[in-house]
Amino acid sequence: MNGETHQCKVTITNPNGFHMRPAATFAELAGQFQSSIIVFKDKDQRINGKNIMELLLLAAEPGTELTLEVAGPDASAAMQVLAQLLAAPSVDDFLKERQMAEG
């Protein structure tokens, strides 16, 4: 893949952890980007961010620090949005902020 590899660390603040709704939203969003999206807690557990099943198995409780690794042509755009989602205290908050940013 062309483009750079971006990495950043994000802490889960959603009180329910990274559960079904944020995971589903994340997977759907990630699927819209060309870049590869990898998420992990530990280095040896690299999860495909476009795969909802794998994301669910991440089982990230609130306070967990996740690493987001994005590589590809739209990497920086992907990184910005996805990191924001991971860090958001709730999916609704994230969606509201996005709307405000766009609108």
Residue ranges binding other proteins (CB under 8 A): 16-17, 19-21, 23-25, 27-28, 48, 51-54, 56-57, 59, 61, 91-92, 95
- Classify burial at 48, counting beta carbons within 10 Å of its beta carbon; exposed 0-12, middle 13-18, buried 19 or more: middle
Closer by beta carbon to other proteins, 59 or else 77: 59
Smallest separation, CB 61 to other proteins (Å): 8
The verdict on whether 6 is a catalytic residue reads: no
DSSP state of 33: S
* C-beta of 53 vs 77, nearer to other proteins: 53
Active-site residue, from 4, 13, 17, 19 = 19
The neighbour count for residue 89, using CB atoms within 10 Å, is 12
* Least distance CB 21 / other proteins (angstroms): 4
Rounded least distance, CB 37 to other proteins, Å: 14
Query: How many Cα atoms occupy the beta-carbon half-sphere of 68 within 13 Å?
Result: 27
Side chain identity at residue 103, one-letter code: G
Please name which of 19, 28, 2, 18 lies closest in space to residue 81, comparing C-alpha atoms.
28
* Catalytic center residues: 19
